[in-house]
Amino acid sequence: MNINIIMAGFGGQGVLTLGKLVCLAADSAGKNATFFPSYGGEQRGGTCNCTVVISDEEIGTPIVNKADYIIVMNEPSYDKFKNSVVSGGTLIINESQIHKSEVLEGINQVRVKSDDIAAEAGNRLASNMVMLGAFTGFTKFVGEDVVKEIIKESMSSKKQYLETNLNAFEKGLGQGE
């Protein structure tokens, strides 16, 4: 098993946190995983992306040009990465911010109103947790309990956000099915 993932959005949308959590969950489940972030100097409001590679075998490089899954949180990221999905791959789209409805030949599209769902869960900024839930539910790359434990561990110093983030994750789980 080898899964290549690209995650992209504006700085401040939690894209890098999303990538780290996917990587940590895969590692916790006994898989090899790499995390490779990329962001501009402007950070909040600027564009950023990361790649995650998950494998049962040793990983040669964290660099991904074509991905099995791409999670896009905003329209500039959609425009930049929509053609980087392998044939038969999946584009997971934050439909709260991306209103384009192009048909991309040979590409699965999962549309999630993640900002809206996060607001319902208690905080619009938990949109990345909704996408983490959608990705986990759609791919089953690890069990959802593994991801919940990773969220709890990573939020140990920010306990005031834990319940909202877990709630957003839960609400995202069924979005990709």
Contact 20, 35 (CB under 8 A): yes
Give pTM, 2 decimals: 0.94
- Kindly report the CA angle at 139 between 145 and 5, in degrees rounded to 5? 110
Residue type, 147: V
> Would you state the pLDDT for residue 176?
67
> Would you state the pLDDT for residue 39?
74
Residue type, 115: D
Domains and CATH numbers, the chain: 2-97+105-173 (3.40.920.10)
> Would you state the pLDDT for residue 129?
98
d(CA 94, CA 78): 9
Mean per-residue pLDDT pooled into runs of 10, the chain (177 residues): 94 93 97 90 72 95 94 95 96 95 90 97 95 96 96 89 95 84
d(CA 64, CA 51): 6
